């Protein structure tokens, strides 16, 4: 009888959540360590960023911080990262800093100068509303979504990324997939239903026109906005027009995984899986899982890594695993875990008090224009912290 009771107790323990956590105790400890470090680092980052601006990057060789105004496309990532840190640590000082920066950012809900309202407002106010449930944040999201769709071109059924110039007639970049989350969320949560259809139209046009047969993505597709015809396919940040710019592949993977979350349209899920295969089975992907800045970059392996691409990919893979069978999930989870372990090591994670207050090192903004090369970047930290939280919430 005693043996039987002991067996029952062991079974109960084995099936309990706490036992599941023990099975991956190393990751639980890693996540805890990294969030504590992030809290320290972001205190320093806040101290070195003017109150009316947002952190942009840091140049260690010059001990120089660079900040941006709130119209810079990355302006939402700093408050978004603060909110992720607060979500894990419950540190009230971190939340207070996030609220101060949100107040500075709020006016950009009216911005229509490019397509980046999703990055700017959903990564910040979307997380703020989700975490704090403050109803005052909701109208900001509604207004930002309305501002974003002023860039929708109905004849081409896409949201125009940048304004026309000598270089581009009607450019749409793969990054724009990320901004659809704002439209879908607002539409799903009581907002204008046309926002959903605009997001679907854009995702479908991108699926049709942005991807090659191997499921790699062009960076820029230039449209004739009067009829939707493709003028040219090119790059602004990749190694070449026909190359696979690493962060662009990450945006595509994340974007179509997110589209499936909202729509349950299997076309989007299959597209995400194909992109994942292109990335994870690519012979140019290094053993530690952190990609070079372009999968076709010259001088591989003697070129730059992009921690931001690695962080985005890891976060996307963790969500993609939620929609996959056991075998696929195991594959995505193993690769995401490898990337997070790599990013959490000394090669990519800054020591406390260094790196200007940023968490990750070795990201690449736009190498062809020699902008933000091998430096910390706000969106690298943001998607890294998101990935750590996703791992904790879904896989521990």
Task: Decide if 175 is catalytic.
Answer: yes
Whether 256 contacts 272, CB under 8 Å: yes
Whether 218 contacts 350, CB under 8 Å: no
Q: Catalytic pick from 69, 155, 175, 381?
A: 175
Omega before residue 301 within 30° of 0, cis: yes
Q: Catalytic pick from 69, 116, 204, 294?
A: 116
Q: Which of 386, 291, 394 is nearest to 34 (CA)?
A: 386
CA–CA dist 48, 4 (Å, integer) = 62
**Is the dihedral angle over the CA atoms 237, 58, 68, 199 positive or is it negative?**
positive
Q: Which of 58, 36, 61, 62 is nearest to 48 (CA)?
A: 58
As separate numbers, helices (DSSP H) first and strands (DSSP E) second, the chain gives 15, 9
Q: Which of 41, 81, 124 is nearest to 315 (CA)?
A: 81
List C-alpha distances in Å: 23 to 331, 338, 396.
18, 16, 8
CA–CA dist 9, 48 (Å, integer) = 54
Whether 302 contacts 313, CB under 8 Å: no
Whether 121 contacts 101, CB under 8 Å: no
Side-chain half-sphere of 44: how many Cα atoms within 13 Å? 16
Task: Decide if 116 is catalytic.
Answer: yes
Give me the active site residues, please: 116, 175
């Amino acid at each position: 009888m005693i043996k039987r009771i002991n067996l029952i107790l062991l079974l109960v323990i084995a099936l309990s959540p706490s036992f599941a956590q023990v099975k991956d105790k190393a990751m639980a400890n890693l996540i805890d360590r990294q969030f504590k470090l992030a809290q320290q680092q972001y205190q320093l980052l806040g101290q070195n960023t003017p109150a009316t601006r947002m952190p942009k990057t840091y140049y260690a060789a010059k001990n120089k911080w660079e900040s941006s105004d709130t119209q810079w496309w990355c302006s939402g990532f700093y408050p978004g990262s603060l909110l992720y840190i607060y979500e894990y640590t419950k540190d009230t000082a971190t939340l207070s800093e996030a609220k101060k920066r949100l107040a500075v950012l709020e006016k950009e809900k009216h911005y229509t100068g490019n397509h980046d309202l999703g990055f700017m407002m959903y990564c910040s106010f979307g997380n703020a509303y989700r975490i704090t449930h403050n109803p005052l944040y909701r109208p900001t999201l509604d207004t930002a979504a309305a501002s974003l769709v002023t860039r929708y071109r109905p004849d081409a059924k896409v949201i125009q990324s940048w304004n026309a110039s000598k270089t581009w007639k009607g450019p749409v970049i793969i990054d724009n997939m990320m901004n659809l989350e704002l439209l879908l969320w607002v539409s799903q949560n009581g907002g204008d239903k046309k926002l959903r259809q605009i997001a679907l139209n854009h995702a479908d046009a991108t699926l049709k026109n942005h991807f090659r047969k191997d499921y790699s993505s062009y960076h820029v597709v230039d449209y004739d906005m009067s009829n939707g015809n493709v003028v040219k396919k090119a790059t602004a940040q990749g190694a070449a027009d026909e190359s696979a710019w690493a962060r662009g592949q990450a945006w595509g993977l994340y974007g179509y995984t997110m589209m499936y979350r909202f729509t349950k349209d299997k076309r989007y899920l299959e597209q995400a899986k194909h992109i994942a295969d292109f990335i994870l089975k690519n012979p140019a992907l290094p053993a530690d899982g952190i990609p070079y800045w372009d999968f076709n970059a010259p001088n591989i392996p003697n070129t730059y890594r992009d921690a931001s691409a690695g962080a985005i990919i890891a976060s996307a893979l963790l969500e993609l695993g939620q929609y996959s069978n056991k075998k696929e999930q195991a594959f995505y989870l193993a690769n995401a875990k490898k990337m997070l372990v790599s990013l959490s090591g000394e090669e990519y994670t800054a020591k406390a008090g260094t790196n200007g207050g940023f968490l990750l090192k070795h990201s690449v903004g736009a190498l062809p224009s020699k902008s933000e090369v091998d430096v910390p970047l706000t969106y690298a930290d943001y998607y890294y912290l998101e990935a750590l939280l996703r791992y904790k919430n879904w896989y521990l």
